[in-house]
Amino acid sequence: MDKNEAKRRIDALTEEINAHNRHYYLENSPTISDYEFDLLLKELIQLEELYPEFKNPDSPTSKVGSDLETENAPFSQYAHKHPMLSLANTYSIEELRDFDARVRKGTDSPFTYNCELKFDGTGINLLYRGGILVRALTRGDGSVGDDVTRNIKTIKSVPLQLKEDSGYPAEFEIRGEVFMPFASFDKLNIQRELDEEPLFANPRNATAGSLKMLSSKAVSERGLDCVLYHLIAPGYENSLHSKSLEDAASWGLPISSLSRRCSDIEEVIQYIQEWDTRRHSLPYPTDGVVVKVDQYAIQTALGFTAKTPKWAVAYKFKPEEALTKIESIDYQVGRTGAVTPVANLSPVQLSGTTVKRATLHNADQMEILDIRVGDSVYVEKGGEIIPKITRVELSRRESGSVPETFPKVCPACGASLVRDPEQSKFFCPNSDFCPPQIEGKFLHFASRKAMDINIGEVAVHQLCEREYVRELQDLYNLDDLQLLSLDKWKGKSVENFRASLEKSKSVPFHRVLYALGIRNIGETTAKTLASRFKNIDALAAASREELLEVADIGGIIVDSIRGWFEEPRHLKTIEELRKAGLQFSLEEKAPVSDTLKGMTIMITGNYSIPRETMKYYIEAHSGKVGSSVTASTTYLLAGSKAGASKLEKARKLGIPVISEEEFYRIAAPGEEPKETQPQDGQMSLF
Which one-letter DSSP state was computed for residue 370?
Answer: T
For residues 514 and 675, what is the distance between their CA atoms, to the nearest angstrom?
32
CA angle, 581 then 582 then 586, to 5°: 120
The pLDDT of residue 616: 75
Q: Return the minimum-mean-pLDDT range out of 127-131, 178-182, 261-265, 519-523.
A: 519-523
- Name the more confident of 148 and 12: 148
Got the DSSP string for 80-125?
-SS------EE--HHHHHHHHHHHHHH-SS---EEEEEEE-SEEEE
Return the percentage of the chain with pLDDT > 90, whole number. 50
Quick one: what percent of the chain has pLDDT higher than 70? Answer: 90
74 pLDDT more than 80: no
CATH code, residues 3-62: 1.10.287.610
Q: What is the dihedral of CA 179, 185, 191, 195, to 10 degrees?
A: 70
The band of 215, judged by pLDDT with boundaries at 50, 70 and 90, is confident
What confidence score (pLDDT) does residue 494 get?
A: 94
The whole-number pLDDT of residue 679 equals 32
- Under 8 Å between Cβ of 175 and 229: yes
Residue 680, pLDDT score: 33
Q: 431: which residues sit within 8 A by CB, 6+ positions away?
A: 336, 337, 437, 441
H helix runs in 549-679, sequence order: 555-565, 568-580, 611-620, 644-653, 660-667
The pLDDT score that the predictor gives to residue 377 is 95
End-to-end distance of the chain based on CA atoms, in angstroms? 52
* pLDDT tens digits, one per residue of 134-184: 999 998 878 888 899 999 999 999 999 999 988 999 999 999 999 999 899
Gap between the Cα atoms of 317 and 599, Å rounded: 51
Mark whether 118 is an active-site residue. Answer: yes
Report for 38-42, 146-150, 381-385: range of highest mean pLDDT: 146-150
CA distance 502 to 490: 19
pLDDT at 385: 53
Closest CA to 136 of 128, 144, 125: 125
Contact call for residues 510 and 70 (beta carbons, < 8 A): no
| Least confident piece of the model among 53-62, 219-228, 462-471 | 53-62
Domain with CATH 3.40.50.10190 in the chain: 600-667
What's the pLDDT at 203?
A: 86
For domain 321-411, give the CATH superfamily: Nucleic acid-binding proteins (2.40.50.140)
Statement: residue 563 has pLDDT above 50: yes
pLDDT at 677: 34
Q: Of the CATH numbers 3.40.640.10, 3.30.470.30, 3.30.450.20, 2.40.50.140, which one belongs to the domain with range 78-316?
A: 3.30.470.30
For 601, residues 6+ apart whose C-beta sits below 8 A from its C-beta are 618, 623, 624, 625, 626, 633, 634, 635, 636, 637, 663
Give the 3-state secondary structure of residue 2: coil
C-beta separation of 417 from 408 below 8 A: yes
Q: Look at residue 407 in the predicted model and tell me its pLDDT.
A: 95
- Give CATH 2.40.50.140 domain extents, the chain: 321-411
Phi, psi of 350 (to 5 degrees): -150, 120
Residue type, 194: L
pLDDT, average across residues 231-253: 92
What is the pTM (predicted TM-score) of this model? 0.53
Q: Do 415 and 333 meet the contact criterion of CB atoms below 8 Å apart?
A: no
Domain with CATH 1.10.150.20 in the chain: 435-580
Which one is catalytic: 42, 55, 118, 488?
A: 118
What is the helix (H) or strand (E) element at residue 426, kind and residue range?
strand 425-427
Q: Residue 598: pLDDT above 70?
A: yes
Q: What is the CATH number of domain 435-580?
A: 1.10.150.20
Q: Which CATH class is domain 600-667?
A: alpha beta
Q: How many CB atoms lie within 10 A of CB 424?
A: 12
